[in-house]
Amino acid sequence: MVETRHQTENNHPHEDKKPESSAVVEEKQKESGESLKESPRAGSKREASEGTGSKEAGNEEPPAKKFKPDEGSEDESVKHTYQTGTIERGHIYFLYRPKVELEEAHNLDDVQRFQILLVPRPPEFAQPPENQNEKTEVTEEGELKLLSPGADAVPAAETTNVSKKPFRLIAVGKKCLPDPEAGGGGKGGGRKQIFWATITTVGDDLHKLEEGLGSKTYETKTRGTRHQGPARLAGRGAYAIVNADAEVPSERETHLGYHLSHPTPAEFGEVQKVLGIHTASSFVMQVKNPLAPNTGGVRVGLPKSRRVDYPEHIMKEVFGSGETSKGQRRQSFGLRFAGVERTEMLDYEGVELLFIAARSGEEGLDTSLGEGRGGALKEVEEKEGSFSIQTVLKELAMDSAKIPAEALKGEWI
């Protein structure tokens, strides 16, 4: 259950203002003679701790162009629409890095950082299938009509040895994922586990990412030469980000769900269990408003100087910054948290995320993502489980000598 804008930060607030479609906006532009401009991007306020510098990760659909009405007037039709269904899909990779001066990690105490790598992909149905009649149907308007349940969540096959790909690197705060089995099961059964995460790197050059994830040797004034080993690959699969199509705004939720291809159930081991990686799992995902102060006098998350600097249109349209609600004055920063109402919100460094454990297992994944999406991910990832570790590394254009992947067999390294 998600709360509205007037409610607290531990819930799931959303806004339900809906614009006209991009086609209608373009038609208005043609009639008025005004030009459409790209939505501005603010860039990052912080240096990435690992990987590349600040570059925006592309999606299969570019950010919508925004029609700007005359000064002093506000056209309700240009405000954003809450995107429902699958808003992104791709491949997901889990990595951990041992602490400084440790050549190997053997438990969670030996882990310096746990990270999630998202590599967005277009949907599989958008690629030319071997037999198009089995997958899609072309309507008179030239649109593709999906025939298979959950097909919008299945990513296109990953290319290999291609270093130019959009990606996001996410650092998980507690060095492991929240456990959907812990906390009692939500309403009436206790509070679910909640973990913080931060988007540390957004880029499109996997070679630079490999450099950032590789081993490091550096000098310190007090301890002399220090060495840190490279990140290890501990999981690979497919993910989908889905917005619930709720009847009322308070029930809107953004779910991130994944199904692993590696390791296979037979190779699943201690390293995956300790890091909270399941064969299939899902989380409710929220984005923290970078302008919202911490509550209760407790410092949580990034300092202000390192938080994302969202452009004005996201702050206003998603978080409601500066708006006043009927009968109640909202604080000027707007909502403390919001769902991922558009994937553009994830294309900035310094974004703070809240992961709330939802459901694990294949049935749980299917329930969270809905409309057969979990089953569709399971089917494709079980097939991709036959890929060799070398093939997985080639998807990331990485060298096994620089980024070890033996942990995909379930053992700490």
Q: Determine the average pLDDT of the residues in 327-334.
A: 66
For residues 9 and 333, what is the distance between their CA atoms, to the nearest angstrom? 13
Q: What pLDDT, on a 0 to 100 scale, did the predictor assign at position 20? A: 46
Query: Which parts of 99-253 are beta strand (E)?
Result: 111-121, 136-138, 144-146, 164-172, 194-205, 216-220, 224-228, 232-243
Q: Which residues pair with 242 in a beta bridge?
A: 86, 255
What is the pLDDT confidence band of residue 297, given thresholds at 50, 70 and 90?
low
Q: Note whether residue 316 is domain-resident.
A: yes
Other beta carbons less than 10 A from residue 26's beta carbon: 13
Domain span at residue 225 reads 22-409
Q: CA 26, CA 107: separation in Å to the nearest integer?
A: 56
* Measured distance CA(198)–CA(193) in Å, rounded: 17
Q: Which of 51, 80, 87, 82 is nearest to 66 (CA)?
A: 80
pLDDT tens for 123-172 read 998 876 554 444 445 554 555 454 588 999 999 999 999 999 999 999 99
**Is there a domain that residue 14 lies in?**
no
Is 5 within the bounds of a domain?
Answer: no
pLDDT at 356: 93
Q: Quick one: how far is CA 307 from the chain centroid?
A: 17
Is 10 among the domain residues? no
Cis peptide leading into 265, omega within 30 of 0? Answer: no
Is 7 a domain residue? no
403 neighbors 97 (Cβ within 8 angstroms): no
- Exposure letters 310-336 (e unless 16+ CB within 10 A, then b): beebbbbbbbbbeeeeeeeeeeebbbb
HEC secondary structure over 269-307:
CHHHHHHCCCCEEEEEEEEECCCCCCCCCCCCCCCHHHC
- Secondary structure class of 27 (helix, strand, coil): helix
224-276, pLDDT tens digit by residue?
999 999 999 999 999 999 998 877 766 789 999 999 999 999 999 999 999 99
Q: Where does the pLDDT of residue 80 fall: very low under 50, low under 70, confident under 90, or very high at 90 and above?
A: low
Give the per-residue pLDDT at 182: 74
Better pLDDT: 11 or 339: 339
Measured CA to CA, the distance from residue 72 to residue 95 in angstroms comes to 50
- The distance in angstroms from the start CA to the end CA of the chain is 41
Distance of CA 279 to the CA centre of its chain: 18
Q: Which of the two residues, 17 and 201, has the higher pLDDT score?
A: 201
Neighbours of 266 (CB within 10 A): 7
Give the H/E segment covering residue 23: helix 22-32
> Is the residue at 192 inside a domain?
yes
pLDDT tens digits for 388-407? Answer: 999 999 999 999 999 999 99
* Side chain identity at residue 52, one-letter code: T
pLDDT of amino acid 235: 98
The CB-side HSE value for 208 (13 A sphere, CA atoms) comes to: 19
pLDDT higher for 326 or 134? 326
402 part of a folded domain: yes
Q: Is residue 8 part of a domain?
A: no
The answer, yes or no, to whether residue 52 has pLDDT greater than 90, is no
203 alpha carbon, distance to own chain's centre: 14
Residues in the chain: 413
Share of the chain above pLDDT 90, in %: 57
Highest mean pLDDT among 59-63, 204-208, 223-227, 318-322: 204-208
C-alpha distance from residue 320 to each of 15, 30, 149, 291 (Å): 8, 30, 35, 11
Residue (of 288, 246, 240, 309) closest to 82 by Cα position: 246
280 neighbors 177 (Cβ within 8 angstroms): no
Structure pTM?
0.76
Q: How far is CA 324 from CA 37, 249, 331, 369, in A?
A: 28, 18, 8, 33
Check residue 325 and give its pLDDT. Answer: 54
8 A C-beta contact, residue 57 and residue 204 = yes
Q: How far apart are CA 195 and CA 117, in angstroms?
A: 17
Q: Is 174 exposed, middle or buried (0-12, 13-18, 19+ CB in 10 A)?
A: middle
According to the model, what pLDDT value does residue 179 have?
A: 82
Nearest CA-CA partner of 234 in 282, 169, 278, 283: 278
Q: Number of folded domains in the chain?
A: 1
Measured CA to CA, the distance from residue 232 to residue 185 in angstroms comes to 32
Lowest mean pLDDT among 118-132, 192-206, 337-351: 118-132
